[in-house]
Chains A and B, each alone.
Chain A
Amino acid sequence: MAIYLLRRLLTAVPIILLITAVVFAVMQILPGDPAVMLLGTEATEASLAATRERLGLNRPLHVQYLSWLGDVLRGDLGRSMIDNRPVTTAIANAFPVTLQIALISLVMALLVGVPAGIVSAVRRGGVADAVASLVALSGISLPGFWAALLLVYVFALQFDWLPSSGFVRPSEDLWGSFLSSLLPAVALGLRPAGVFMRLLRSSMLDVIRSDYVRTARAKGVGANLVVMRHALRNALVPLVTVLGVEFSALLGNVVVIDTIFAIPGFGRLIYNSFLRLDFVMMQSLLLLFALIVIAVNFLTDLSYSLLDPRIRYR
């Protein structure tokens, strides 16, 4: 196991290096001049040149790349080209916000998706199955931005139960923070909830038809126990895979959700830095994003062995 861990960590290094190179190359391919974005279209050529000089944009590409990479390895992500704040500060402010919303969202998706999946597999073809499948398909098909606006309209405008926008930090007001995360989390969680339900339903159906479940039933194990101990545990392995994938997808979807709910999260940071061609910020954000996806995949792989003792890593 330890050897496996070490090997995984070592193989991550070239992947991360490759990602930094690709990210850097993509930034260079993107059309547009950060100096123009900064100074406006009426700026003189002299002031544009001075700004490019200040931002280090006039250095050869490989120098720019290596100097950035060196700084990153030393833990210095640089400063925003637009507002000069340290990138680490910006990320430290935005990331916990997104993490909180994403986690609440995933927990809610699991709380809804898993029981719904079990019920519809056990009562396959019944009314509960039909209703759950309809809701799940709607969750998967509804565009996030539209669901978000609908949620604001109903829960903030019509009933006035939840705030229509903004984010309260847990340090300011814990309960208020939870309430302010609720609508964005639901908007984000609709899709994974539907995905979890569909997936669990089909993998449960596979398992329920398998020999060992039939054997368990024949031994006289109670119906509930069969479902919970034998069927569910084996059906969870594919769910964990999808959980990792959906977590990464959530981080992408926060761009839309942050925009609609005016949340100072990761999505807002990405949106603004792309809009303003803030290369330094964009590079670091994309790198962070890639690191998170690698970490989540790693954790997902590790969790397989916990769920299914037959899976062993060497």
Chain B
Amino acid sequence: MPSTRFRLVVSIAALLLAVGLPLSTAFAQPVYGGTLIVGLADDPPQLDPHLTTANASRTVLHNIFATLVEIDAQMQIVPGLAESWSVSDDGLRYSFTLTPDVVFHDGTPVDAEAVAFNFARMMDPGFGSPRAAELAFVDEVVVTGPLTFEVIMSQPFAAFLPALASWTGMMVSPTAVQTSDNFEDVLIGAGPFRFVEQIRDDRVVLEKNPTYFREGLPYLDGVVYRTFVDGDSRVLNLESGALHIINTVPGRNVAALEKHPEITLSSVGGLGYRGFYVNTQSADLGNRERRRAVSACIDRQVIVDTVFGNAAVPGSSPFSPATWVVDLDDPVPPRDLDFARQMLAEAGVPDGFSFTMLITPDEESIRVASMMAAMCAEVGITINLQQTEFGTMLARLGDGNYTAAQVELSPRNDPDLSAYPWFHSEATNWGRLQNAELDDLLTRARAAVYQAERRELYRQVNEVLNVEFPYVFTYHMAEMKAYRNELKGYRHIPDSMMRFEDVWLADD
């Protein structure tokens, strides 16, 4: 007669076999060790999180500097260095509590004083941080205890927490800032990896942070970033095994990578948008009906199908379908040549007109712009394409010395940041549109605390934009990463940043 204990052991063993085995195959045990080699598309120019504006830098920095809060794959705000927080009903007071016992790479504590130092650094006009714009509404940071602090706002700013999940929330070690000649040489944060060195124009090397505040992480011993500006070369090096993961997948390589047996192509909805800015004060496109005619000529679906395949979705909005703003059911306006002709007639140019569009000399821009030109030609609108490099285009956009310019607006993790800076008449507003209704809607959406209210306001923003067209929205790129199958546990977050705290390299 088997003892009770024996039966217990047998049943536990059976249970483990039944549950554990399939689990272990589906979710293999993480393996410690190994160095991850990452292929970037641009060299990270600067690495001080409070000074750089380059996405290539930011994706590296997310692994060196922990942020106050984080975003998850659903774009919801989750705890980071701050374990909890609350917002007052009027949206003017944020109270944070920090995770206890967290230290920077130099052993100094991540406490409320350190956070206050970071805010002061970013808001110091003499320091010239690009982060100051996102902190413009911060009146005061009050330290209320060793691990608690409050941020007092001069007006509600709904994108504040999302900003703290990005480089504005990256905390640097105050001691390291004060004692180093050049902070960029040391880069002390509290993230899962420590900075080892940057060899300019070549590589950035990180090593495991053994004192990372998340128990047992990271799995990797280190991360090395290398840069491959050329897309084909980036993909070839991924295929050869010289790289484990690449951060930008060229559209023309998507189909081949989808079928590659050793590579995983991960795709989520991206947060950016593409199309072209229109100078609403220009001679050729100053008339609203002309702009509406141009937009009506464009078949967004055909452009996406021809040039991008699965790598993009058509759209007519600054808000990507990956955000909580847009319902996936929202229809994209179809091509409507009758409407275009009607608009041309109302504008007094029934036979059409011509204008010049600036484009950057990359293959995808040229193909998209050529297709747009062909589509518009059917109603007599001639688009002359003029190639110019990005720096020149930026200068001309800033001066208003252009009629139309194809420019991608980069992915941001809050709808306010995708719309307000680009279309409010007092912000960057390259379209030079003066529309009081749009300004009012954008301001109210920025101040609204609740998501439902903001969603409704952004819906109205989009309606105005699709009548006034300071920008002709065309499509949203999918956010893609390609990585070798030995890389496990990668969480793909739509903000395009690569976080490696919980990935590991399988032995095979």
Q: Identify the A interface with B (CB < 8 A).
A: 30-33, 36-44, 46-47, 50-51, 54, 82-85, 90, 93-94, 145, 148-149, 152-153, 156-157, 160, 163-167, 259-262, 264, 268-269, 271-272, 275-277
Tell me the B115-132 residues at the A interface (CB within 8 Å).
125-126, 128-130, 132
**In the bound complex, how far is the Cα of B53 from the Cα of A32, in angstroms?**
17
B229's partner among A82, A156, A271 (CB-CB below 8 A) is A271
Known pairs A40-B53, A50-B126. 15 more at Cβ < 8 A?
A: A30-B391, A31-B396, A32-B395, A41-B394, A54-B128, A90-B200, A94-B201, A165-B226, A165-B237, A259-B228, A261-B233, A262-B226, A268-B201, A276-B45, A277-B391
In this assembly, does B392 line the interface, its C-beta being within 8 Å of a C-beta of chain A?
yes
Of B43, B199, B226, B239, the most chain A CB neighbours within 10 A belong to B43
**In the bound complex, how far is the Cα of B391 from the Cα of A271, in angstroms?**
13
Which single residue of chain B is at the shortest CB-CB distance from A278? B45
B201 close to A272 (CB less than 8 A): yes
Which residues of A sit under 8 angstroms from B184, Cβ to Cβ? 83-84
**In the bound complex, how far is the Cα of B390 from the Cα of A36, in angstroms?**
12
In this assembly, does B361 line the interface, its C-beta being within 8 Å of a C-beta of chain A?
no
Which single residue of chain A is at the shortest CB-CB distance from B233? A260
Which single residue of chain B is at the shortest CB-CB distance from A94? B201
In this assembly, does B202 line the interface, its C-beta being within 8 Å of a C-beta of chain A?
yes
B233 close to A42 (CB less than 8 A): no
**In the bound complex, how far is the Cα of B276 from the Cα of A57, in angstroms?**
31
With contacts A42-B428, A47-B132, A264-B201 known, is A36 near B394, CB below 8 A? yes
Which residues of A sit under 8 angstroms from B216, Cβ to Cβ? none
In this assembly, does B305 line the interface, its C-beta being within 8 Å of a C-beta of chain A?
no
**In the bound complex, how far is the Cα of B46 from the Cα of A165, in angstroms?**
24
A82 close to B125 (CB less than 8 A): no
Min distance, Cβ A282 to any Cβ of chain B, angstroms: 12
Which residues of B sit under 8 angstroms from A93, Cβ to Cβ? 199-201
B125's partner among A46, A83, A268 (CB-CB below 8 A) is A46
B365-384 vs A, CB cutoff 8 Å, 1 = contact: the mask equals 00000000000000000000
B222-248 vs A, CB cutoff 8 Å, 1 = contact: the mask equals 000011111011001101101000000
A32 close to B391 (CB less than 8 A): yes
**In the bound complex, how far is the Cα of B421 from the Cα of A163, in angstroms?**
45
Of A32, A156, A277, the most chain B CB neighbours within 10 A belong to A32
Which residues of B sit under 8 angstroms from A157, Cβ to Cβ? 236, 239-240
In this assembly, does B451 line the interface, its C-beta being within 8 Å of a C-beta of chain A?
no
B227 close to A262 (CB less than 8 A): yes
Which residues of A sit under 8 angstroms from B74, Cβ to Cβ? none
Which residues of B sit under 8 angstroms from A47, Cβ to Cβ? 125, 128-130, 132
Which single residue of chain B is at the shortest CB-CB distance from A164? B240
Which single residue of chain A is at the shortest CB-CB distance from B133? A42
A83 close to B200 (CB less than 8 A): yes
Query: Top 7 A-B pairs ranked by shortest CB distance?
Result: A40-B53, A32-B391, A264-B202, A31-B392, A164-B240, A260-B233, A264-B201
B127-151 vs A, CB cutoff 8 Å, 1 = contact: the mask equals 0111011000000000000000000
B236 close to A156 (CB less than 8 A): yes
With contacts A31-B392, A42-B421, A157-B240 known, is A84 near B45, CB below 8 A? no
**In the bound complex, how far is the Cα of B53 from the Cα of A269, in angstroms?**
20
Min distance, Cβ A285 to any Cβ of chain B, angstroms: 12
B45 close to A259 (CB less than 8 A): no
Which residues of B sit under 8 angstroms from A40, Cβ to Cβ? 53, 130
**In the bound complex, how far is the Cα of B128 from the Cα of A39, in angstroms?**
8
Min distance, Cβ B151 to any Cβ of chain A, angstroms: 20
**In the bound complex, how far is the Cα of B228 from the Cα of A257, in angstroms?**
11
Which residues of A sit under 8 angstroms from B107, Cβ to Cβ? none
Which residues of B sit under 8 angstroms from A54, Cβ to Cβ? 128
In this assembly, does B175 line the interface, its C-beta being within 8 Å of a C-beta of chain A?
no
Could you list some 6 contacts between A and B, CB below 8 A? A42-B130, A44-B132, A149-B236, A153-B236, A262-B228, A277-B391
Min distance, Cβ B30 to any Cβ of chain A, angstroms: 28
**In the bound complex, how far is the Cα of B184 from the Cα of A304, in angstroms?**
51
With contacts A32-B391, A149-B236, A259-B229 known, is A272 near B43, CB below 8 A? yes
**In the bound complex, how far is the Cα of B239 from the Cα of A82, in angstroms?**
33
Which residues of A sit under 8 angstroms from B395, Cβ to Cβ? 31-33, 36
Which residues of A sit under 8 angstroms from B310, Cβ to Cβ? none
Tell me the B180-235 residues at the A interface (CB within 8 Å).
182, 184, 199-202, 226-230, 232-233
Min distance, Cβ B115 to any Cβ of chain A, angstroms: 23
Which single residue of chain B is at the shortest CB-CB distance from A160? B240
